[in-house]
Structure 1
Amino acid sequence: MNPQYFSLEKLAHLVQGECVGQQDLQVSGLASLEHAESGHLAFVNADKYIEPAEHSKAGALIVTEALKAQIKTQQNFIVVANPYLAFAILTHVFERKHTAKGIESTAQIHSSAIVADSAYIGHFVVIGKNCVVGDESVIQSHCKIDDDVEIGKQCFIDSHVTLTGQTKIGDRVRIHANTVIGGEGFGFAPYQGKWHRIAQLGSVHIGHDVRIGSNCSIDRGALDNTILEDGVIIDNLVQIAHNVKIGANTAMAAKCGIAGSTTIGKNCVLAGAVGVVGHINIADNVTITGMSMVTKSISEAGSYSSGTPMLESLHWKRAAVRFKQLADVPLTQLMKKLDHIQSQIESLESTRLRNNYDD
């Protein structure tokens, strides 16, 4: 594939930045400071990258005004307020885009389905009754779009994705390979030693500009819908159970698991492998650090953690013994000992003050 070239001036205009140096420099792509060549554009977003930038072979750098003043070996710049954001915007310029339109001959589409002329339907895709696929959406090979599913405009559905349960998807949504959305929620009623399946009658509603990684499961609701609001981003290998609601612009890293009927607020961040129990509420603007277990509602914004940090094995074993010993001591007995120690400290302090006064 032949590279596409853009002038430094044009790229600066796309990110509303100032072009400094050789405005007609032809740029063929983005690269890291370490591996960039003369036709590449790299970015610098912190003082710690000034030395690598000094030694980089990049043809031009995306920097702030303050960083530019510290880099003496480079002459070509795009000056912006936020280099990382500018880099993110320019990745779309150099991204390989899917330009094909139409329906491949091996696809099976029910006669009642509505597929936009500008959409692309890949090989061996199956689309059921009363489905809708919006303008410029792309559905890659081997996807199953079950009855009554609606897909908005400019969506990207990667290979082997299953959309079922009357799922409704907004515009510009990206869903990556092998993800299942709208599958049956994990609902069972125990009775006389057996589990009795509860039919899941709800759906999944996904807003605009949502990104869902590969190998995720988002279950439909038992009665109400599972909801992902606008701008939610989800990494690979995430499980979202039935009736969960996730607020706008919340981000979840890989291997998070959210149990049923939990509500997570807007602008939250769940780091890798966070677990959340069911039927709780998490406020807006909450960050939960990696591998934490959330067992109760969080009502205030902030950062929360749980779990034991990594230690050397010998230290961890000693700490585990201490934890066990602490658990074996009745809480009332422990509190009495602490009260006794506090009284002794206060008595000693009082004696010391009297002695100083007598002197």
Structure 2
Amino acid sequence: MTHAPHHLTLADIARHLDVDFEGDAEQPIRGLATLKEAAPDQVAFLANRAYLKDLATTKAAAVLLHPEHGKNCPVPRLEMANPYLGYAKLSQLFDPLPARDVTGIHPTAVVADDAMLGKGVSVQAHAVIEAGVVLGERVVVGAGSVIGADSVIGDDTRLHANVTVCHGVVVGKRVILQSGCVIGGDGFGFAHDGAGWHKIAQLGGVVLGDDVEVGSCSSIDRGALGDTVIGNDVKIDSQVQIAHNVIIGDHSALAGCVGIAGSTTVGKHCMLGGGVGLSGHLTICDGVQVTGMSLVTNSIHEPGVYSSGTGAMSNTQWRKNAVRFKQLDEIAKRLSRLEKSHRSK
């Protein structure tokens, strides 16, 4: 359930979505809620047919829904072909976070003398901005966050509390970095001499495009030589690991706990489900969807949906299948011999 930081009417809501409606234009709207929980001053939405059962009894001021469900709506309706997109747009109106921003530098923040800060910047308590940093206009640097030397942060970007942007990182406009994420830490590079490991200095950087979001406690490593590059409008969930020199194309989305090994390229409009692992030095073409918990060890050159692994089953059944899996090679050989014998007769 959400509440509006300021007064809105049903007419304001409809105007923001560019849709028509029937009802009281001056009806106050103070928040968003589910169909089941909505009060008479809140807007609900229906984007999943599983919740259609709650439509008839909703007490919402209005419901955002697809036109096919409009005739079953007992309250004023806001019809859109993509009601979930409409919900996303409305949620921005009710977000109280920007209203709490205070421009200026908190007395406990540490800002290098040669750092360049744009108009309307907010630097919150105990943040650190090192030498040579450039912040665009209306950037918000959350409490305890660190921006390393010579990094550049674009306009309207927000760093939540305790974000680390290491040295020499370029962040685009309207980027959101959630708490605890690390952008530009060293990649995992070591050379072995037979007895021990020798660290390889990571000489590249990280470039994040515009409108990127990085979830909490995710890591994007700097490149070993060239840069790690994240394209425009890429959405990265929490606890994701992106290794050095990875390239991710525009508009791709990575769900929680995805791991991408070094020097792999992911195309545009790709979707990686939770827990997906990509081996290093692969190329994934545009328009690929990999379902959750899949392991990708070879490049993918055709768009489509890809999966690996097996779904959960009872332990007894899994043990039987595991035994059979080990027998597959021998079974294949026996089948080949039988086919050859059949053809020879």
- Return the TM-score normalized by structure 1: 0.91
Which of 245, 248, 253 in structure 2 is aligned with 1:246? Answer: 248
Alignment correspondent of 1:335: 336
**Is contact 1:244-1:262 (8 Å) kept?**
yes
**Is contact 1:229-1:248 (8 Å) kept?**
yes
Alignment correspondent of 1:90: 90
Larger Rg: 1
C-alpha displacement of 1:46: 4.6
> After alignment, is 74-83 or 245-254 more displaced?
74-83
C-alpha displacement of 1:47: 4.4
> After alignment, is 98-107 or 231-240 more displaced?
98-107
- When the two chains are superposed, the root-mean-square deviation of aligned CA atoms in Å is 1.7
Q: Distance in 1 between matches of 2:4 and 2:309?
A: 50
2:56 aligns to what SS in structure 1? helix
C-alpha displacement of 1:80: 2.1
C-alpha displacement of 1:325: 2.0
The letter for the 2-side match of 1:162 is T
Alignment correspondent of 2:312: 310
**Is contact 1:116-1:133 (8 Å) kept?**
yes
The letter for the 1-side match of 2:327 is Q
Q: Distance in 2 between matches of 1:203 and 1:224?
A: 7
C-alpha displacement of 1:340: 4.3
Runs (5+) with no aligned partner, structure 1: 348-359
Alignment correspondent of 1:288: 290
Q: Distance in 2 between matches of 1:126 and 1:45?
A: 42
The letter for the 2-side match of 1:124 is H
**Is contact 2:142-2:159 (8 Å) kept?**
yes
Q: Distance in 2 between matches of 1:104 and 1:339?
A: 80
Q: How does 1:42-57 map to 2 (within 5 A)?
A: 42-57=44-59
1:335 aligns to what SS in structure 2? helix
**Is contact 1:281-1:297 (8 Å) kept?**
yes
Q: How does 1:179-328 map to 2 (within 5 A)?
A: 179-327=181-329
C-alpha displacement of 1:332: 3.9
The letter for the 2-side match of 1:87 is Y
Runs (5+) with no aligned partner, structure 2: none
Q: Distance in 2 between matches of 1:112 and 1:47?
A: 56
> After alignment, is 191-200 or 31-40 more displaced?
191-200
> After alignment, is 11-20 or 50-59 more displaced?
50-59
The letter for the 1-side match of 2:88 is A
C-alpha displacement of 1:169: 0.3
Q: Distance in 2 between matches of 1:200 and 1:315?
A: 47
> After alignment, is 109-118 or 76-85 more displaced?
76-85
C-alpha displacement of 1:333: 3.9
The letter for the 2-side match of 1:77 is R
Which of 122, 129, 132 in structure 1 is aligned with 2:131? Answer: 129
**Is contact 2:174-2:210 (8 Å) kept?**
yes
Q: Distance in 1 between matches of 2:160 and 2:62?
A: 34
Alignment correspondent of 1:8: 10
1:196 aligns to what SS in structure 2? strand
**Is contact 1:154-1:173 (8 Å) kept?**
yes
> After alignment, is 39-48 or 53-62 more displaced?
39-48
User: Structure 1, residues 99-135: CA drift from partner, whole Å, max 9, x if none?
Assistant: 3100000111111100123110011111111101110
Q: Give % identity.
A: 38
Q: Distance in 1 between matches of 2:123 and 2:146?
A: 11
Q: Distance in 2 between matches of 1:35 and 1:340?
A: 69
| Aligned length, in residue pairs | 341
The letter for the 2-side match of 1:54 is A
The letter for the 2-side match of 1:337 is L
C-alpha displacement of 1:2: 8.1
Q: Distance in 2 between matches of 1:156 and 1:186?
A: 27
User: Structure 1, residues 216-248: CA drift from partner, whole Å, max 9, x if none?
Assistant: 111000001000000000000000000000000
**Is contact 2:4-2:30 (8 Å) kept?**
no
> After alignment, is 128-137 or 17-26 more displaced?
17-26
Q: Distance in 2 between matches of 1:103 and 1:316?
A: 58
Cα distance change, pair 171–2 in 1 and its aligned pair in 2 (3 A): closer
Q: Distance in 2 between matches of 1:3 and 1:128?
A: 34
Q: Distance in 2 between matches of 1:101 and 1:3?
A: 18
C-alpha displacement of 1:21: 1.8
Q: Distance in 2 between matches of 1:330 and 1:29?
A: 62
**Is contact 2:4-2:93 (8 Å) kept?**
no
1:42 aligns to what SS in structure 2? strand
The letter for the 2-side match of 1:277 is S
